[in-house]
C-alpha cells in the first residue's frame, strides 16, 4: 500500500485543565465549531487524590447529545430520572442518548489506582435532537478485540478492521451519533497496529506514553486529527494507550450552552425554558 493512502495528522490539540460537576478536576478538549463533528468534547478524569473528584457530578440535565463514559480505573454510579441506576467499573462503558432530555447524576468510585475515566460528547443530528432518551451499560467482556503486532484494540462501538491480515470486529455500541466509532488502543514497546479506516472524521487521543502516526509523534494528553486516506498506522517506541474516534460529520449548525447542544439559539432558549418549567423530559 502506497504512502499516499496513509492517514497523517493535520492538527494537534493539547487537553487543558478544567473542572466540572462538584469541583471534579479534568483534562478537556472541546470543539463546538465542527472540527471533530460528530464529536464535541472529550473529558479525561484521572487522579489518585480523592479530593480531585470525590464530589462527582450531582443531578444535572442534558438535551441534544449522546454521552459515552469509559472507565480505566475505579468506577462511576449512574442514576437518572427514568429510574436507571447502575455502576460501571474498570473496562466498562455507559452510553446515554439524551434526546429531548434527561436528568442524571454520576458519582465516582475508586480502586487501588484511584479513578481514571473518559467522557465523550457526540452531537445528535437535528432530526434526533428531540427523540426519546435511552441508556445502556456495556461490560468489558462484551467488547471484542483486534490484535496487532504487540498491540491490542478494544472496540467500544463502531466497526474496526485490521489492514493486514484482514479481520473485522464490531463494538457493541452500534447507535453512536454520526455512525461513530470509539476504540481503546494499547500499544506495547515497539508495537504496531494497522487499521483500514476511511471515515471522514478520524482522531486519536493519546492518554499514556507516546504514539507515532506516520512521522509525527503524538504525546500524552494530545488529540491528533487525521487527514484523508485509507489506512491508519499506529506505532510506539516506548508503549502507549489511546482512544480512537471516527464518524461522519452532521455538517449542521451547532448551538451550545452548558449541558444543551442544539442547532439554533432559539432551540437553546426552548431547552432552558423547558428545564425551568419541569418539562425538559416530558
Domain with 196 in it: what CATH number?
Answer: 2.60.120.10
Q: Does a structural domain hold residue 158? A: yes
| 259 in a structural domain | no
Are 43 and 117 part of one and the same domain? yes
Q: Is 221 exposed, middle or buried (0-12, 13-18, 19+ CB in 10 A)?
A: middle
State residue 226 phi and psi, 5-degree precision. Answer: -100, 145
The pLDDT score that the predictor gives to residue 239 is 98
**Residue 4: is its pLDDT beyond 60?**
no
What pLDDT, on a 0 to 100 scale, did the predictor assign at position 176? 98
Domain of residue 30 covers 17-142+271-282
Same domain, 28 and 126: yes
Q: What is the pLDDT of residue 2?
A: 44
Considering the domain boundaries, does residue 265 fall inside one? no
Q: Look at 215 and 21; give whichever has higher pLDDT.
A: 215
Q: Is 278 exposed, middle or buried (0-12, 13-18, 19+ CB in 10 A)?
A: exposed
Q: Do both 183 and 125 map to the same domain?
A: no
What's the mean pLDDT in 257-273?
A: 97
For residue 60, name the pLDDT band (cuts at 50, 70, 90).
Answer: very high
> 278 and 138 in one domain?
yes
Is 157 within the bounds of a domain? yes
Q: Which of 1-5, 145-149, 263-267 has the lowest mean pLDDT?
A: 1-5
d(CA 9, CA 18): 25
Whether residue 281 has pLDDT greater than 60: yes
138 inside domain: yes
Q: Please state, in angstroms and rounded to a whole number, the distance separating the CA atoms of residues 21 and 19.
A: 7
The answer to whether position 9 is within a domain reads: no
Rounded CA gap, 102 and 63, in Å?
7
Instruction: Report whether pLDDT(1) > 60.
Output: no
Residue 260: inside a domain, yes or no? no
Confidence band for 51, pLDDT divided at 50, 70 and 90: low
Whether residues 156 and 101 share a domain: the answer is no
Instruction: Give the total number of structural domains in the chain.
Output: 2
For residues 23 and 118, state if they share a domain. Answer: yes
Confidence label for 202 from pLDDT (cuts 50, 70 and 90): very high
Per residue in 217-248, pLDDT tens? Answer: 999 999 999 999 999 999 999 999 999 999 99
With a cut of 60, say whether residue 61 has pLDDT above it. yes
Specify whether 132 is located in the same domain as 225.
no
| 118 & 64 share domain | yes
Q: 109 and 43: one domain?
A: yes
The percentage of the chain sitting over the pLDDT mark of 90, rounded to a whole number, equals: 81
Residue 22 pLDDT: 64
Task: Please return the burial class of 2, using the count of CB atoms within 10 Å of its CB with bins 0-12, 13-18 and 19+.
Answer: exposed
Could you give the angle at the alpha carbon of 30 between the alpha carbons of 188 and 87, nearest 5°? 65
- Statement to judge: residues 63 and 79 lie in one domain: yes
Q: Are residues 80 and 176 in the same domain?
A: no
Q: Which pTM does this prediction carry?
A: 0.94
Considering the domain architecture, whether residues 77 and 90 belong to the same structural domain is answered as yes
Mean pLDDT across the chain, nearest whole number?
93
Q: From residue 181, give the alpha-carbon distance in Å to each of 122, 165, 170, 236.
A: 11, 21, 9, 22
User: What SS3 string covers the chain?
Assistant: CCHHHECCEEEEEECEEEEECCCEEEEEEECCCCCCCCEEEEEEEEECCHHHCCCCEEEEEEECEEEEEEEEECEEEEEECCCCEEEEECCCEEEEECCCCEEEEEEEECECCEEEEEEEEEECCHHHCCCCCEEEEECHHHCCEEECEEEEEEEEECEEEECCCCEEEECCECCCHHHCEEEEEEEEEEEEEEEECCCCEEEEEEEEEEEEECCEEEECCEEEEECCCCEEEEEECCCEEEEEEEECCCCCCCEEECCEEECCHHHHHHHHHHHHHCCCCC
Predicted local distance difference test score (pLDDT) of residue 214: 87
Q: Cβ-count burial of 188 within 10 angstroms (0-12 exposed, 13-18 middle, 19+ buried)?
A: middle
Answer yes or no: is 5 within a domain: no
Amino acid at each position: 500500500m502506497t504512502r499516499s493512502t496513509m492517514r497523517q495528522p493535520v492538527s494537534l490539540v493539547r487537553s487543558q485543565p478544567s473542572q466540572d460537576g462538584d469541583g471534579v478536576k479534568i483534562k478537556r478538549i472541546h470543539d463546538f465549531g465542527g472540527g471533530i463533528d460528530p464529536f464535541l468534547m472529550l473529558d479525561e478524569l484521572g487522579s489518585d487524590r480523592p479530593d480531585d473528584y470525590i464530589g462527582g457530578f450531582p443531578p444535572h440535565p442534558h438535551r441534544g447529545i449522546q454521552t459515552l463514559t469509559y472507565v480505566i480505573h475505579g468506577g462511576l454510579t449512574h442514576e437518572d430520572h427514568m429510574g436507571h441506576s447502575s455502576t460501571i467499573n474498570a473496562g466498562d462503558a455507559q452510553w446515554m442518548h439524551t434526546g429531548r432530555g434527561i436528568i442524571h447524576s454520576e458519582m465516582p468510585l475508586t480502586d487501588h489506582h484511584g479513578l481514571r475515566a473518559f467522557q465523550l460528547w457526540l452531537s445528535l443530528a437535528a432530526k434526533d435532537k428531540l427523540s426519546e432518551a435511552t441508556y445502556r451499560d456495556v461490560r468489558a467482556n462484551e467488547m471484542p478485540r483486534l490484535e496487532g503486532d504487540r498491540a491490542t484494540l478494544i472496540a467500544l462501538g463502531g466497526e474496526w478492521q485490521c489492514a493486514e491480515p484482514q479481520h473485522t470486529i464490531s463494538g457493541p455500541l452500534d447507535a453512536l451519533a454520526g455512525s461513530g466509532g470509539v476504540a481503546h488502543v494499547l500499544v506495547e514497546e515497539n508495537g504496531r497496529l494497522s487499521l483500514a479506516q476511511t471515515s471522514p472524521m478520524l482522531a486519536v487521543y493519546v492518554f499514556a506514553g507516546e504514539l507515532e502516526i506516520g512521522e509525527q509523534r503524538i504525546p500524552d494528553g494530545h488529540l491528533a486529527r487525521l487527514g484523508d486516506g485509507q489506512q491508519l498506522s499506529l506505532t510506539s517506541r516506548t508503549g502507549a494507550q489511546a482512544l480512537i474516534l471516527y464518524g461522519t460529520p452532521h455538517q449542521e449548525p451547532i448551538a451550545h450552552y452548558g449541558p444543551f447542544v442544539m442547532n439554533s439559539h432559539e432551540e437553546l432558549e426552548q431547552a432552558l425554558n423547558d428545564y425551568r418549567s419541569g418539562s425538559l423530559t416530558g
